[in-house]
Amino acid sequence: MKLKSSQITKPLFRYFLASMILVSAIGCAEPIKNSNGKRESATNDDELIESSIDLSGKIIGYCTPTLNGPYYQALLQSIKETTERNGMVFLSADGQDDINKQVAAVEDLITKGVDVLLLNPKDPDALVGVTKLAKAAGIPVFIIDSSIDPAADYVTTIQSNNLANGELAGAWLAKEFGKKKMNIALLSGNAGNPVGRTRKQGLLQGISEEQLRTLGYIDLDIKTQMYTEWSYAGGLKAMEDILVAHPDVNVVITESDVCVLGAIKAIAQAGKTDEILIVAGADGQKEAIKYIMDTDFYGCTAMNSPVQIGKNAVKYAIQYMNGKKDFPKTSFTAPLLITKENAAQYYNPNALF
């Protein structure tokens, strides 16, 4: 890749994009001004992000590890809508659930001359090199949702507070069971994933700390850990195997709603929905919230909002372009536990996720 060449063609590329946007915008809702003189979208109630520089023509590039799942689709949509609402150009690339393809996709965004790169890395190590390429091209990198090795060149990581969310869910579970024996099965995403590892850590810490506080001892019996590859089918297969090998399981804890939604089918087929309690350390997926509202077997989940993460990512990118440089290495959204008491407040049947 010749970065010098990409820098030469960047103005021409921007001119082309701006022309295309102007053409496609005819007949569409345009930003209007409110009584305070600030622009706002006629199709979205969210206010514009404050900026002292002209954002028109600025290019936000986003590379997702995959679009195979509602979470990733909702995150991309949030970034796209927030970018375009603030008058900027949005470019996206899909890693197609393949590390090599994601590396190539990021390189393509760099050659297209984006002003800011938002990156959701599939692998914490494999994408380090492209962050250095971006820096060499003068492009700041913001890590979205997942994590990357500290050796990477990036401004900040924007994600939910996975540790705190997991602790809230674990503490809720320990309170629910009290002195009753828990035989726990753990459903994880995939081996070595740093986000999943932190969520798992939070869940176990939450259980342990609450037991120590209320009982004076820890009784934490993990019968098995199974990997689901963050999929419905993976959760179904894992739970089928668990119920055969460990029929005494009465609790399922999981790193993500998606890991356990398929498992519910296996639990139901085994006639054990009255015997097993499910607790998720994340994500607040609408199907999970619906189960929490309507059943007693899905106890709680914690909020990992792709909409809020997307908005925050674009907000921080705009702040960076306006001169802010003192970002923490990790920027969290607020932790939030969703239970039967507040589930209806967060349920949106029309949401992507």
Tokens of 180: 């009753």
Find residue 225's DSSP bridge partners.
186
Tell me which long-range contacts 103-106 makes (C-beta under 8 A, separation of at least 24).
103/127, 103/129, 103/130, 105/63, 106/63, 106/130, 106/133, 106/134
* Ordered structural domains, the chain, with CATH: 3-154 (3.40.50.2300), 162-304+339-346 (3.40.50.2300)
Which one, of 95, 104, 49, lies nearest residue 76 by Cα?
95
In degrees and rounded to multiples of 5, residue 42 shows phi and psi of -75, -10
Give the DSSP per-residue string, 302-326.
EB--HHHHHHHHHHHHHHHHTT---
pLDDT in tens, the chain (353 residues): 434 333 434 443 343 344 333 333 323 322 323 223 333 332 344 689 999 999 999 999 999 999 988 889 999 999 999 999 999 999 999 999 999 999 999 999 999 999 999 999 998 999 999 999 999 999 999 999 999 999 999 999 999 999 999 999 999 999 999 999 999 999 999 888 888 999 999 999 999 999 999 999 999 999 999 999 989 999 999 999 999 999 999 999 999 999 999 999 999 999 999 999 999 999 999 999 999 999 999 999 999 999 999 999 999 999 999 999 999 999 999 999 999 999 999 999 998 88
